[in-house]
Structure 1
Amino acid sequence: MILEAISKNFFLYLSKNKVLDRMAKRFGTKFGADKIVGGETFSQAIPLIETLNHEGLQVTVDHLGEFVNSKKEARERAQECIETIQAISHHQLNSEVSLKLTSLGLDIDEELVMENMEQILEEAEKLGITVTIDMEDSSRCERTLAIYKALKENYPNLGTVIQSYLYKSEEYVDELDPYRPYLRLVKGAYKESGKVAFQEKQKVDENLKGLIKKNLLNGHYTAIASHDDAILDYTKRLVKEHGIPNDQFEFQMLYGMRNQTQHELLKEGYTVRVYLPYGEDWYGYFMRRLAERPANIAFAVKGIFTK
C-alpha cells in the first residue's frame, strides 16, 4: 500500500514536469502512450473510433491539452473542437466530445470561455452531438459547475463530471438536480489535499456508490466511469433492484483499459462508452494513468522496447 502511494505521487509529480512534457512531444507517443491514446490528431483517431463502433462500443473523444496561455490559443482550441464535431458527423461516428474549460481559456477570461463554449455547443446542437465538460482540479470545480448551469438551460445535450473524492461532491449533485444533468461520475485523478478530498480509497468508493444511486434515483442519465469491479457490480445490483432501465445509464472506460470487461458488459446488454483521448499534449494524461494503476507501467515498458 505504501509503495503504491509512493508510485502514485511519483507519476503525478512527473505529470507536471514541463521539461519532460517538451521531450514527450518531440518523441511522439511511441513510449507506450499509443496503447491508451488515439493518436496525435483526430484524423488518426477516426479509424480507431470506427473499429470500436463496429465492435458495439460507443466513444467520447477528448483533445488533450490544458492551461492555454493566450486568448488566441483558446480560440484555436475551440475551432479545433468544432472541426472535430463536424468530422464526427461527416464520418457518421457514434461519438461524443469531452473538453476541458482550461483549454478554452478558463484561467484567462470567463467571458472568453462562454463565447467559445457557445460556438462549440451551437455546432454540436445542430449536428446532434453530446458534449461533456470534463472536471479538473478542485480549484476550478465550482467555476466549471457555474458555467455548466449557465449553458445547460439552452443546450440540453451537455454533460459534466463529478468526482467522488471531493467532500462536496454530493452537494454538487444536489445542486445540479433541477438542471436534469447528464453526469459522468468518477473517483478523480488529481492530487488533492485532505482539506477538500477523501484520502482513503474506501471512502472515495463509498461516496461514488452514493452518487451513482442519487443521480439514478433522481431520474437522470448517468455515466459510471470506473474500471473497478466492485463499482460495476454495485451498479448492476442497484439498477435491477430499482427497475432502472438500461437506457438511463452507461458504463465508461478508458481506451486501452479492461478491453475484455468492456465486451463482457456489452454482451450483458449494457451500453459501454470508451473514453478516447488524442492530441500532441498526451504526456500529462499518460502520467496520470500510470499513477492510477501501477499495472499500466507495462504499457510504457513495452512501448520502449517494441518498434
Structure 2
Amino acid sequence: MLNLQAITKNFFLFLSNNKTLDRLAKRYGSRFGVDKLVGGETFSQAVPVIKQLNDEGLVVTVDHLGEFVDSESEARERADEAVETIQTIADHNLRCEMSVKLTSLGLDINRDLVIENMERILEKALELGITLQLDMEDSSRCQDTIDIFKELKAKYPNVGLVIQSYLYRSDKDLDELDKYNPYLRLVKGAYKEPGVVAFQDKDMVDKNLKQLVKKHMLNGNYTALGSHDHEIIDFTKELAKEHGISKDRFEFQMLYGMRNKLQHDLAKEGYTVRVYMPYGMEWYGYYMRRLAERPANIAFAIKGIFSR
C-alpha cells in the first residue's frame, strides 16, 4: 500500500504532466506569486534580478525552462538562445553560470545534433569564461547524459554535470567520473522513478546524498550541494571543517525564491551560495516536480513565496 509521502509525490508528478493545468498556469501564474519563483519570461527580464542577487553576495545559475524537444529546428533555436544568453551574461558582467537540459537540445532526436549544439554553446561559454552544467533528467537518459558529458569534458574544461542521489547507480558513476576531475552538482532527484533503479525511501535518498558529497569532496573535486535540507547542509559544513577543505572547493545551491534567509546566512558565513534561477514560460512542470520531490518542499514553497 502506498504511504502518504508516495501518494503526495505521485499526485504532483501527475499534475506536472497535465496539459490543461499547464495552460492555466501560464495564463494565471503571475497572480499566485510565480514571479517570486521564476526570474522572468525572458532572460532580459531576469538580468536585473540576477544583478540584485549578485549585489547581495549570491551567485546564480540560470536554466531556460523547457525540455523534451522533438523538432530539430526547435533544438537549434534553443541552442541559439543559449549562446545569446551566455553573451548577455558576459555583457552585463553577471556572476552567473548556465544549466542546460540535453533533451531541449536534441538528445531524443539525434546524438550528433545534441553534440553539435552543445559544442557551439560551450565554445561561446569557454571564450567568455562561463561555466555550463548539464542537468540530469530521468533515469532512461542518465547513461546518454554521462557519456556526452565525458565526450565534451575531453574538449571543454568549463562543463559540469548533475548527479542524483536517489539512483542506485550514482555511487558507481562517481567512481567512474573521478578521473575527469568533474564539477558536480549533487542533488536528491526530482523525477518519478521505479524501485528497480531508485531508492523510494527518503532516509535512504538522504543517506546516499551524504555519501556522495563525502566521496566527491574527499576526492578533491569541486562540489555543489543542491539542497535546502538543514541536516545535509550542516553535514557538508562539518565534513569540510573535519578534513580541512577550504570554502572555495564547494558551494551550496538552492532554488530561487526559496529559503532566502538561509541563503543569505550561509553567504555571510563566507560560503559560496548559488541560486538556481529558472526563466521562461515553461515553469509549470518544473515547479510541480520540485513539489513532488519531497512533501516538505510544499511548506518550503509556501514559506519561500511569502517570506523574505
Whether TM exceeds 0.5 here: the answer is: yes
The answer on 1:294 being equivalent to 2:308 is: no
Change (3 A) 1:297 1:258: closer
1:127-276 aligned at under 5 Å gives the runs: 127-276=128-277
1:32/1:300 contact within 8 Å kept: no
Aligned amino acid, residue 154 of structure 2: E
Q: What's the CA shift for 1:21? A: 1.9
For residues 98-155 of structure 1, give each alpha carbon's deviation from its aligned partner in whole angstroms, at most 9, with x where no partner exists: 0100000100001000000000000000000000000000000000000000000111
CA distance in 1, matches of 2:172, 2:301: 35
2:257/2:305 contact within 8 Å kept: no
Unaligned 5+ runs, structure 2: none
CA distance in 2, matches of 1:301, 1:220: 34
Q: What's the CA shift for 1:23? A: 3.0
TM-score by length of 2: 0.94
TM-score by length of 1: 0.95
Q: What's the CA shift for 1:300? A: 11
Aligned amino acid, residue 289 of structure 1: R
Unaligned 5+ runs, structure 1: 303-307
Aligned amino acid, residue 211 of structure 1: L
1:99-138 aligned at under 5 Å gives the runs: 99-138=100-139
Q: What's the CA shift for 1:298? A: 3.3
Secondary structure of 1:108's match?
coil
Q: What's the CA shift for 1:163? A: 0.2
Q: What's the CA shift for 1:19? A: 2.5
Q: What's the CA shift for 1:287? A: 1.1
Change (3 A) 1:298 1:247: closer
Change (3 A) 1:160 1:301: closer
CA distance in 2, matches of 1:33, 1:290: 14
Q: What's the CA shift for 1:24? A: 2.6
Number of residue equivalences: 302
Runs of 4+ in 1 over 4 A off after TM superposition: 299-302
Moved more, 11-20 or 238-247: 11-20
Change (3 A) 1:20 1:227: same
Change (3 A) 1:132 1:297: closer
Aligned to 1:279: 280
**Taking every aligned residue pair, what percent have the same amino acid on both sides?**
67
Secondary structure of 1:30's match?
helix
1:28/1:280 contact within 8 Å kept: no
